[in-house]
């Protein structure tokens, strides 16, 4: 069941969706999941902005494509008005698998691909309301807005959540990511490391479009930091001098990349 992270404020949700059937579907699921949840419904950006101002909801569930624009505009407008910690969480919904999904992933923002199941919706809502400190959520939104404006993947930022902190890191500052059982250790060019409690595979999916390659079961490498590939012993040398083994099955992929340079 949903928890209320701030008891001084009633739990409410702003649903922004222009399709009546989709709206009815979501409202039914949420009200069955949490009877006390107030759901305010908007089908346009103009309606959504007015409802947000009137009710100050804790959770925003935003369809991306709306009749009068996209919900990124709404989110940018209301975020700019917040001086203190962001007082809400956001879940995006979209029918397009490639629509801003990469930006969601590396910014660590929640999204649902339509059609989604009731369990997927309630799980995302529970996670949004109890996960992370509100004070740090602005960092994720700032990273998302930054990434939306960047066409070059190497100019984007990624959100890395360690046990105690949320780190917003520029993609070029990462030299490699190393698997450590179900954890991933990020190595930055300044010598720092950040350990995240997600497997390397999840970051391979997020960072491959940003110029990273999985060259070994345990190593995901920023291709822009390669200095030398030693063919005889299948070792990749990065600009910081770190040597990384290249597995035999990944060698052809790496050589194909190097031959394009």
Last residue within a domain, chosen from 93, 124, 147: 147
Residue 34 belongs to a domain: yes
**What pLDDT digit, counting tens, does each position of 65-77 carry?**
899 988 888 888 8
Residue 6 belongs to a domain: no
Residues 207, 183 within the same domain: yes
Last residue within a domain, chosen from 97, 114, 147: 147
Residues 249, 158 within the same domain: yes
CATH number at residue 204: 2.40.50.1020
Last residue within a domain, chosen from 128, 147, 166: 147
| Per-residue pLDDT at 110 | 87
**What pLDDT digit, counting tens, does each position of 225-259 carry?**
999 999 999 999 999 899 999 999 999 999 999 99
Beta strand segments in the chain, E: 12-16, 38-42, 59-63, 65-66, 69-70, 89-94, 110-113, 157-161, 166-170, 174-180, 183-188, 193-196, 212-216, 219-222, 226-230, 235-238, 243-245
| Per-residue pLDDT at 36 | 78
Residue 110 belongs to a domain: yes
Residue 2 belongs to a domain: no
In whole angstroms, what is the distance from residue 94 CA to residue 158 CA? 21
Residues 130, 185 within the same domain: no
Residues 68, 160 within the same domain: no
Residues 98, 132 within the same domain: yes
Residues 128, 166 within the same domain: no
Distances (CA, A) of 246 to 191, 223, 229, 236: 22, 13, 9, 7
Instruction: Supply the DSSP symbol for 174.
Output: E
Listed residue (143, 71, 2) closest to 13, CA to CA:
2
Considering its fold, how many domains does the chain have in total? 2
Pairing of the two strands 157-161 and 166-170: antiparallel
Residue 212 belongs to a domain: yes
pLDDT along the chain (261 residues), means of 10: 47 92 94 85 94 90 91 86 74 79 74 92 86 61 74 80 86 94 93 93 89 95 94 93 94 92 80
Residues 29, 74 within the same domain: yes
| Per-residue pLDDT at 15 | 96
Residue 227 belongs to a domain: yes
Residues 95, 72 within the same domain: yes
Residues 73, 184 within the same domain: no
Which range of residues forms the domain containing residue 182? 153-259
Residues 106, 24 within the same domain: yes
pTM: 0.63
């Amino acid at each position: 069941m949903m928890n209320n992270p701030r008891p001084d404020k009633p739990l409410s949700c702003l649903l922004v969706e222009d399709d009546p059937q989709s709206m009815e579907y979501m409202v039914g699921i949420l009200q069955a999941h949490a009877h006390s949840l107030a759901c305010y419904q908007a089908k346009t950006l103009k309606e959504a902005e007015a409802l947000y101002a009137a009710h100050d909801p804790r959770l925003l569930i935003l369809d991306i494509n709306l009749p009068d624009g996209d919900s990124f505009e709404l989110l940018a407008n209301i975020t700019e008005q917040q001086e203190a910690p962001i007082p809400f969480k956001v879940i995006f919904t979209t029918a397009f698998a490639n629509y801003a999904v990469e930006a969601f992933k590396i910014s660590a923002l929640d999204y649902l691909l339509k059609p989604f199941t009731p369990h997927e919706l309630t799980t995302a809502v529970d996670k949004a309301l109890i996960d992370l400190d509100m004070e740090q959520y602005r960092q994720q939104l700032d990273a998302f807005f930054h990434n939306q404006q960047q066409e070059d993947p190497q100019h984007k930022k990624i959100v890395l959540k360690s046990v105690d902190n949320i780190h917003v890191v520029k993609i070029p500052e990462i030299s490699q990511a190393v698997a450590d059982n179900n954890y991933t250790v990020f190595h930055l060019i300044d010598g720092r490391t950040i350990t995240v409690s997600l497997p390397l595979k999840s970051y391979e999916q997020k960072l491959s479009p940003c110029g990273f390659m999985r060259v070994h079961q345990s190593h995901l490498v920023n291709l822009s930091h390669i200095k030398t590939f030693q063919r005889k012993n299948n070792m990749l040398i990065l600009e910081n001098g770190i040597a990384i083994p290249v597995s035999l099955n990944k060698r052809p992929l790496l050589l194909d990349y190097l031959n394009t340079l």
